[in-house]
Structure 1
């Protein structure tokens, strides 16, 4: 295939994934907007709660991410049995993980207090998580089924079901947060109920499609799903746990940044929550393109087509860098337009939040470049099923470089939220450099018999 053909293939696979990820992001976005209009205190509590939920969720999603390259490689050889076994064990591991970590959310107040957070906000965040935390089970199963369908290049259905979830969440928030249609006003707890319900509806819709659709029905995915498969369970676990810890290393950097800024004040935390939501929205595009690259690399690995793997990866990276350029322009030219919709016009702290959020988005324009770079490198490495060394590299970049730098600049030097975000840039830059070096080394080892496969 030529480079232009690879570009087209990545777009065909990636555009529905982009839509799906943006729709998934919209669920959190609606929570932020509606709670921002409900009250700044509720918004700040939701930032704490969702940051904590996301750390636990994204670590558990490592097993779902492991499903994608394994299914892609197996499906390139029409090995439906392996496809089914891998997906089932991905679901097993996800449910076991959710059961183990749910108690941490139920009793999360002590965690927030240990990090110096306001007692009132900590209690509110725990109240939210005691409801939303049960959504961890369907949320992780959604990730497994999405990975399975994406690896089969069935991404359009993922988009449509995610759009259904957006509608359910938006309606649920409108009814439950503000007390519409005769329902009692529930505020933050209403947002939690809407979130958990949304995950449940989405996983049921995905499971119904997998069970009934012509292209997947023959794989009888849920028949005798209770039967253990120790061999494949172990394979998915060995590939997935380093991905989960890599996800943890990155997500904890961002969640810790919320905790650090929480030490500064409620208004800075609210501004941070809004700015990070906007930056996360554009990151969803890079994540989707990265997953398209993972699938293409996994299929190329199954065919031993290393030239196709390199061209496909180059096409995905080129599209990602194009998006970086567009978002940097938007963050630098129209920041107030992007931020203003998150805040009630009558909110007394509106001016302070707008001013701080505008400054943070300027920094976000810089870290878009390095954030896109590291996620594309990780995606290619996952496509060739290389996860353990990248995990170590990510931990070094995020925990030993990014997090200390964020605390030092933001708190010790008293630069404030901008210093914290510059620490994020430092960690992401280090991760991008290390991970791309790793991929080039592994690619050379695989594609050239003269090179040692131990690289």
Structure 2
């Protein structure tokens, strides 16, 4: 197959992925705005946001990962023009996401005191606690939003979640400005003000997305007149079988990045603040990869519904190629601007904080060099994972992600950061090793499985 067989799909892949990317970037933009605004208060406050969000990231990964089970089922039903199957997948997915959201809020509240026993800087823990209270509550609307988003993506209506996220970001920026710094007559609440903005923006995000879906002729019948408790065991089981491994895949990846936050906290508040900056910047580019992962899930799910397996493989490879090209561009960007980007997060004019700020920027600049290298492997692993989810292959990829991140990546991170002079850079070398192992193994899995499906069709 010549190159044009893949490049001719670029335009449609971009049109499908771009709204998802912008929506994903919107989620990350909430964190970026929080980090930049809170960074003006000091490095301890920035480290506190990092520590508080580390608990949130783990809970979010489980909720968001589980919700991805909705997309391939809705995409397959859409490919088959089967309304009843699509609505059933959405309704059961929404129910399970709501129950899971409530459970995760409870678990995070119970787990909060663990922060005092994790060898983190005491001033950072004291600042993180009140911030975490409100942000934890925002988990519930976020996971309900994810159920609606994954359903909307499954219908190839990727723009509406983007619009909802943009609206939420506007609310978040305004409320942050008001409540962090005490503007427009609002009280000056510092970190708690950032949490208020996050909670309010996520509630608005759900309400706005539901409203838009209820107004469109294609999605309207799905989101109105939902018999929420009229459930069947077979569909609940199907979603659990897809959702639980998907949740574990995302959990294993997010948990290793969270372990990076905790390991850097053991090294001190400045390494932790530097880690947060590098993590926030690399997560911005990761959202682009996530957008293509969703595009792969939708298009592969559609082709699976149509049983067109040669097309499935060709389309998947076109998405792998396009996303890898963009990953190379981001890698070059990080290499060129690794010194400049971290300075966006800190008040360099503050003479009292200058020594801390200088140390944070120096560490973050080194971490961005490593982040530049893993752009390609991080992109490839998540996009291939999306294609595998579209094929409803989730169990073997779950084992692969566990091996890559926790048997390869984490031991390297721990040893190099705690027992060598690599310190913060050692943590990120471990991340690079885990992501690369994941990318290689997942690609081998997709290559094998897609060829097998084509072979079965030809026989």
- Tell me the TM-score normalised to structure 1 length: 0.96
Q: CA–CA distance in 2 between the matches of 1:389 and 1:157?
A: 32
Distance in 2 between residues matched to 1:307 and 1:225, nearest whole Å: 38
Q: Tell me, in whole angstroms, the C-alpha distance in 2 between the residues paired with 1:367 and 1:4.
A: 24
* Aligned 1:68-107 pairs, distance under 5 A: 68-107=71-110
Would you say 1:134 and 2:134 are equivalent positions?
Answer: no
1:380 to 374, 379, 387: 387
Match of 2:444 in 1: 437
Q: Tell me what 1:13 maps to.
A: 16
Number of residue pairs matched?
Answer: 452
In structure 2, C-alpha distance between the alignment counterparts of 1:284 and 1:364, rounded to whole Å: 14
Aligned to 2:298: 295
Following TM superposition, by how much is the alpha carbon of 1:221 offset from its aligned partner in structure 2, in angstroms?
4.0
- What is residue 235 of structure 1 aligned with on the other side? 238
* 1:391 aligned residue: 398
Shift of 1:383: 0.8
Q: Alpha-carbon deviations, 1:262-297, whole Å to 9, x = none?
A: 100101110110011001100100110111011000
| Mapping of residues 183-222 of structure 1, within 5 Å | 183-222=186-225
Q: Which residue of 2 aligns with 1:226?
A: 229
The residue correspondences of 1:22-421 to structure 2 (distance < 5 A) are: 22-345=25-348, 346=350, 347-348=353-354, 349-421=356-428
Q: Indicate conservation of the 8 Å contact 1:210/1:221, yes or no.
A: no
What's the offset of the Cα at 1:315? Answer: 1.4
Q: For the residues of structure 2 that align with 1:117 and 1:221, how far apart are their CA atoms?
A: 47
Answer yes or no: is the 8 Å Cα contact 1:68–1:151 preserved in 2. Answer: yes
Query: Post-superposition shift, 1:114?
Result: 3.1
Residue by residue over 1:78-131, the C-alpha shift from the partner in whole angstroms, topping out at 9 and shown as x without a partner, is: 111111111111111111112222123224443223322233322332322211
Deviation at 1:414, TM superposition (A): 3.2
Q: Output the CA distance in 2 between the equivalents of 1:110 and 1:339.
A: 31
What secondary structure does 1:218 align onto? helix
The offset of 1:219, in angstroms, is 2.7
Assess, with a 3 A threshold, how the Cα gap between structure 1 residues 224 and 109 changes in structure 2: closer, same or farther: closer
Residue 222 to residue 364, structure 1, CA distance change in 2 (3 Å) = farther
Asked if structure 1 preserves the Cα contact closer than 8 Å seen for 2:121 and 2:268, the reply is no
SS of the residue corresponding to residue 448 of structure 1 reads helix
Inter-partner Cα distance in structure 2 for 1:335 and 1:393: 31
Distance 1:181 1:269 in 2: 32
Q: Residue 45 of structure 1 aligns to a residue in which SS?
A: helix
User: Structure 1: where are the runs of 5+ without partners?
Assistant: none
User: Do the aligned partners of 1:105 and 1:130 also contact (CA within 8 Å) in 2?
Assistant: no
Q: Is the CA contact (8 Å cut-off) linking 1:370 and 1:432 kept in structure 2?
A: yes
Following superposition, the deviation at residue 450 of structure 1 comes to 8.4
Distance 1:276 1:451, change over 3 A: farther
Stretches (4+) displaced over 3 A: none
Instruction: Decide whether aligned partners of structure 1 residues 446 and 352 sit closer, same or farther in structure 2, where only a CA change above 3 A counts.
Output: same
**Shift in Å, 1:220:** 4.4
